[in-house]
Amino acid sequence: MPINGVGLQAHWSIYEPTEQRIDSTIAMFAKLGVQVQITELDLSVYPKEHTRRERRPEDANSAYTAELEQRQSDEYKMLFNVFRKYKGTLTGVTFWNVSDRYTWLDNFPVQGRKDYPLLFDKDMKPKKAFWEVVKF
């Protein structure tokens, strides 16, 4: 069975991966001549953790602050700038969900902690990040 494409699962964070890492990864697949799709895209506002853990005192503050909103907006802008650079190779971007109302990252990896990884807020209103994605 020939392979003509690859999907990159994108449960990322506003802290990682870097622009250089995303760019070099897509570039490697582009050199192979395969199509690339970004799948399950969401950008957690917390550093990436892969296993459940107990709640810590610093987990008590889980507000979506203006600073986090700006950082997330900047990260989404950077990602889509890289994605557009590879418009001949990158054939699609699929988000894991639409809004922050309910997300798989709520309560993971920390029970009782809310996350805000998507382009629309809990009330389905576009966040700053949405405008950075659609404006080009």
* Chain segment 104-117, per-residue pLDDT in tens: 999 889 988 999 99
Q: What are the Cα distances from residue 96, in Å, to 5, 31, 33, 66, 103?
A: 20, 27, 26, 23, 8
Mind listing the domains of the chain with CATH numbers?
5-48+60-134 (3.20.20.80)
Average pLDDT value for residue range 36-50: 94
Looking at residue 96, its pLDDT comes to 95
Distance CA 105, CA 83 (A): 24
* Chain segment 76-99, per-residue pLDDT in tens: 999 999 999 999 999 999 999 999
pTM for the whole structure: 0.92
